[in-house]
Amino acid sequence: MVFDRSELSRAPEGFPSSIYKAKDHAGLAYVVQVAPDDCTGCGLCVAFCPAKDKSNPRHKAIDMVDAAERKALERPRFVFLGTVPPADRKRVHLDVKGSQLLEPLFEFSGACAGCGETPYLKLVSQLFGDRAIIANATGCSSIYGGNLPTTPWGTNADGRGPAWSNSLFEDNAEYGLGIRLAVDARSDHARRLLRMLSAQVGGELAAALLEGPQENEAQIGERRAQVEELRRKLATIEGPEASSLLEAAEYLVKKSVWIVGGDGWAYDIGFGGLDHVLASGADVNVLVLDTEVYSNTGGQQSKATPTGAAAKFAASGKEVPKKDLALLATTYGHVYVARVAMGARDKQTIDALLEAESWHGPSLVIAYSHCIAHGYDMAHGADQQRLAVESGVWPLFRYDPRRARRGEPPVVLDSGAEAPKVRVADYMRNEGRFRVVELQDPKRFAHLARSAQEQAERRLSYYRQLAGIVLPALQEAE
């Protein structure tokens, strides 16, 4: 985190810090701090850390050491940082580095050590969490997300944070759509009342609230200040309309509705509802945490399970290809679609989430999530994500309807433009879910690996062609 260096006068003795060099917060104190009693020891942070000692590349900005030796020293440091104001959201540049200066409103979830799902949720909470409403399908993310009596979903100093609720496998998409419709109804109600009372609250303020943009953090911050001014004025106005608007004023601030779940929900049990919601045109954001198995119930086969993987009901390795949910969604034309893998391309992940949320319509982001059910040390999760991308198993792309309106190809292929650097079999042999098939039947594994290689090559060829197609522009309003 970054903060004013004057805060260091309150820091524990020997507190380490450096000076932040990037332009948006140049000169502020910069600290990377571990939560000493919450670290699971997975090692993924060290594996992912990009900062290396030039004289000793094996040494990074953070290293794994014995926890018992450090806890007494790190505890007061961690407590101190909890008293330091977070970075000003309006000043943060939303790139890879800047996004991690934003206060996370999803922390200490209790998920498996090294879980590949939770980094995406943390990032969503940093980018949009102070105005997010989340509908979460039953699955891993609902278990660690609703681990009562505590919860990993938090609030900032102003009391704002994600509103989170869990629905079932079969109706989570519809549940999230209902949330969107309810938010829109309350917003429309507030706007009607504001028009009725515009003369009493002031025409200039009313016009700003009714017409002002909310496309970035500065504009949203300005909108919140305007809502506070509106509340002060409404407190002096008598009548049921003023009381009703006072209650609904919060809905004049843009809400970010997210529908979250795993591949078992999105590809299988809840697919019909998901398809219905994407077809509706509603302004909802769907985040699929794709582990490629029903992780929460022990790892049985789903339509997201790739060729060659062993799972319950596919013990000898799945024969048929994985369903291409992202490609299906692009056929609507009005849906923003992205396939991401944070461990392979963190910038592409952030770009996709920002683009998805800014699109005034349905968006679908499918996130590669390595999982303990894959059968390898989760400290290598980021490396395996890179192999998935470099082998062509998981091509990264973004489909943005706005590009079509500008006369550009709507598909941007973020990986796979060139021939894969890695054979699919090399990616597969790193994971127990594939390796067990080879141990049981080497001949069958060789057959499945060849099939997976062919599928990856065909998929990449198809996406390369899509990335060159310019479509007639759709005329819907953004």
100 found inside a domain:
no
In this structure, are 354 and 452 located in the same domain? Answer: yes
In this predicted model, what pLDDT tens digit does every residue of 386-439 receive, in sequence order? 999 999 999 999 999 999 999 999 999 999 888 898 999 999 999 999 999 999
Are residues 349 and 221 part of one domain?
no
Distances (CA, A) of 169 to 78, 143, 183, 336: 38, 13, 22, 23
Whether 247 and 347 map to the same domain: the answer is: no
Residue 99 covered by a domain: no
Which residue reads 């429309």 in tokens? 188
Q: How far apart are CA 200 and CA 185, in angstroms?
A: 23
Mean pLDDT to the nearest integer, 364-378:
95
Q: Has residue 421 been placed in a domain?
A: yes
**Percentage, residues of the chain above pLDDT 70:** 99
Of 85, 110, 129, the domain-final residue: 85
Q: Over range 16-33, report the average pLDDT.
A: 90
Q: Same domain, yes or no, for 443 and 308?
A: yes
Q: What amino acid is encoded at 349 in this protein?
A: T
CA distance 359 to 351: 12
229 lies in the same domain as 304: no
Domain assignment of residue 138, yes or no: no
Residue-wise pLDDT for 182-211, tens only, equals 999 999 999 999 999 999 999 999 999 999
Say what the pLDDT of residue 184 is: 98
Largest CA distance in the chain: 81
108 occurs within a structural domain: no
pLDDT of residue 478: 47
Question: Which of 42-46, 239-243, 272-276, 456-460 has the weakest average pLDDT?
Answer: 42-46
Domain boundary among 37, 70, 85: 85
Give residue 477's pLDDT. 45
Look at residue 58 in the predicted model and tell me its pLDDT: 77
Residues 205 and 301 in one domain: no
Sheet of 336-340: strand order equals 163-167, 132-137, 256-262, 285-290, 363-368, 336-340, 397-399, 411-413
- pTM of the predicted model as reported, rounded to 2 decimal places: 0.95
Domain at 45, CATH number: 3.30.70.20
pLDDT recorded at residue 306: 95
Q: Do 332 and 426 have their domain in common?
A: yes
pLDDT tens for each residue of 461-472: 999 999 999 987
What number is the average pLDDT over the span 27-34? 92
* pLDDT average, residue stretch 100-109: 94
Q: What are phi and psi of 187, to 5 degrees?
A: -65, -45
Say whether both 394 and 332 belong to one domain: yes
Q: Report the phi/psi class of residue 298: left, alpha or beta, with left for phi > 0 and alpha for psi in -120 to 50.
A: left
Instruction: Print the domain residue range for 357.
Output: 291-466
340: number of Cβ within 10 Å: 29
291 pLDDT exceeds 50? Answer: yes
- Of 252, 273, 303, the last residue of a domain is 252
- Are both 339 and 457 inside the same structural domain? yes
Mean per-residue pLDDT for 27-50?
90
351 & 425 share domain: yes
Does 340 lie in the same domain as 225?
no
Q: What is the pLDDT of residue 295?
A: 76
Residue 24 domain-assigned (yes or no)? yes
Predicted confidence (pLDDT) at residue 171 exceeds the cutoff of 70:
yes
Task: Return the CATH number at 392.
Answer: 3.40.50.970
Residue 470 makes CB contacts below 8 A (sequence gap 6+) with: 404, 407, 408, 409
Q: Do residues 73 and 186 both lie within one domain?
A: no
pLDDT tens-place string over residues 31-42:
999 999 999 999
Q: Which long-range contacts (CB under 8 A, 24 or more apart) does 145-151 make?
A: 145/109, 145/121, 147/109, 147/110
Whether the predicted pLDDT of 21 surpasses 90: no
pLDDT at 54: 80
Domain count, the chain: 3
Q: Is 473 a residue whose pLDDT tops 70? A: no
280 φ, ψ (degrees, to nearest 5): -70, -25
Residues 6+ apart with CB under 8 A from 252: 187, 190, 191, 194, 209, 223, 226, 227, 230
- Predicted confidence at residue 475, as pLDDT, reads 57
pLDDT band at 476 (very low <50, low <70, confident <90, very high): low
Q: Give the pLDDT mean for 304-309.
A: 94
Of the two residues 28 and 314, the one the predictor is more confident about is: 28
Q: Does any domain span residue 2?
A: yes
**11 pLDDT above the threshold of 90:** yes
Domain for residue 232, yes or no? Answer: yes
